[in-house]
């Protein structure tokens, strides 16, 4: 029963995440108004029937801008997480498998990046590179890979001397073939869970860089820059910051709950207990 509940929760949160991705993908067709059309006569209107989330200081419809900003905020975060996952996993597996000087050099570099708070280090890198979405993504990518490198290295070391790896070596398989065909599938679960949980973190850090002026530049719609644009009018027109803030909150919550549910579902100990229970039931 517990495993069935986990499966239902996984399906539920997967559907919610899929709806978010579909909304971000087709945001241009879902916007009720042009997200960049300005009309000062409609500036700072509160939420109402015509503008469900109100308008900003330039009279732009906030619902349309939140929808348009979802494309940048969500897909930039997904692309960033995919890149750091691939790079960090490849580096960690190579270090765990080869060891020696490669392991020492790469892991000391990872320790150097992990010694600083990620957002502070990303601020420094983005400040040096200049503003803009590509530089913000590059800055966050530079501080995001060590986590996956450490995780993949530890998992690879745990699998390196296992029976199936020794059998593959005796059959004449090369090192990279063993890594890709045998080791990677056995360590993919924890890495996948970490990737899903990292989406929310990357999204908030990307929004933080945009909020500070080092990410997406106005007038482009992005949730962090929208919050920054409305912070000076928070007491007069709070909906200008609350609307994109609520979008960030809901999106991060959905991906975090999906990651937690996926971690519980892929827990090998729980799966082994369920297998033993099924065998006992059959007996």
User: What residues does each domain of the chain span?
Assistant: 59-276
Instruction: Say which residue, 42 or 218, is predicted with more confidence.
Output: 42
Q: Using one digit for the tens of pLDDT, what is the confidence trace for 75-91? A: 999 999 999 999 999 99
Contact 147, 85 (CB under 8 A): no
Backbone torsions φ then ψ of 218, nearest 5 degrees = -60, 150
What rounded mean pLDDT belongs to the chain?
85
What is the average pLDDT across 45-51?
Answer: 90
Structure tokens at 198: 């990292």
Q: Using one digit for the tens of pLDDT, what is the confidence trace for 134-154? A: 888 888 888 889 999 999 999
What pTM was computed for the model? 0.86
User: Which pLDDT score, from 0 to 100, does residue 268 have?
Assistant: 58
Q: Helix or strand or coil: residue 220? A: coil
For domain 59-276, the CATH architecture is Orthogonal Bundle (1.10)
Query: Which residue shows structure tokens 């007038």?
Result: 219
Contact 109, 211 (CB under 8 A): no
Q: Using one digit for the tens of pLDDT, what is the confidence trace for 146-185? A: 999 999 999 888 888 788 777 877 777 666 777 888 888 8
Whether residue 196 has pLDDT greater than 70: yes
Q: Using one digit for the tens of pLDDT, what is the confidence trace for 204-257? A: 989 988 888 888 887 888 899 899 888 888 888 899 999 999 999 999 999 999
Residue 251's alpha-carbon distances to 10, 65, 143, 265, in angstroms, are 16, 16, 22, 21
CA angle centred on 96, ends 95 and 100, rounded to 5°: 60
Contact 190, 128 (CB under 8 A): no
């Amino acid at each position: 029963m517990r495993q069935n509940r986990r499966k239902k929760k996984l399906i539920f949160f997967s559907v919610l995440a899929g709806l978010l991705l579909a909304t971000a993908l087709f945001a241009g067709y879902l916007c009720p108004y042009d997200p960049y059309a300005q009309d000062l006569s409609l500036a700072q209107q509160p939420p109402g029937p015509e503008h469900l989330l109100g308008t900003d200081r330039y009279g732009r419809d906030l619902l349309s801008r939140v929808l348009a900003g979802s494309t940048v905020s969500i897909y930039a975060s997904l692309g960033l997480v995919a890149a750091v996952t691939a790079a960090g996993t490849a580096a960690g597996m190579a270090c765990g498998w080869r060891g020696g000087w490669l392991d020492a050099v790469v892991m000391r570099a990872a320790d150097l990046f992990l010694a600083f708070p990620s957002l502070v280090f990303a601020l420094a890198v983005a400040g040096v590179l200049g503003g803009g979405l590509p530089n913000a993504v590059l800055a966050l990518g530079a501080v995001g890979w060590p986590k996956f490198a450490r995780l993949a290295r530890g998992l690879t070391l745990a699998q390196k001397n296992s029976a199936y790896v020794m059998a593959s070596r005796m059959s004449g398989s090369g090192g990279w073939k063993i890594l890709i065909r045998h080791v990677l599938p056995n360590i993919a679960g924890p890495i996948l869970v970490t990737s899903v949980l990292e989406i929310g973190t990357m999204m908030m850090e990307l929004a933080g860089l945009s909020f500070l002026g080092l990410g997406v530049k106005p007038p482009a719609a992005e949730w962090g820059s929208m919050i920054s644009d409305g912070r000076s009018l928070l007491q007069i027109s709070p909906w200008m910051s609350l609307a994109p803030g609520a979008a960030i909150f809901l999106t991060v919550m959905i991906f975090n709950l999906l990651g937690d549910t996926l971690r519980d579902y892929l827990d090998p100990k729980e799966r082994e207990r369920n297998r033993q229970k099924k065998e006992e039931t059959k007996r």
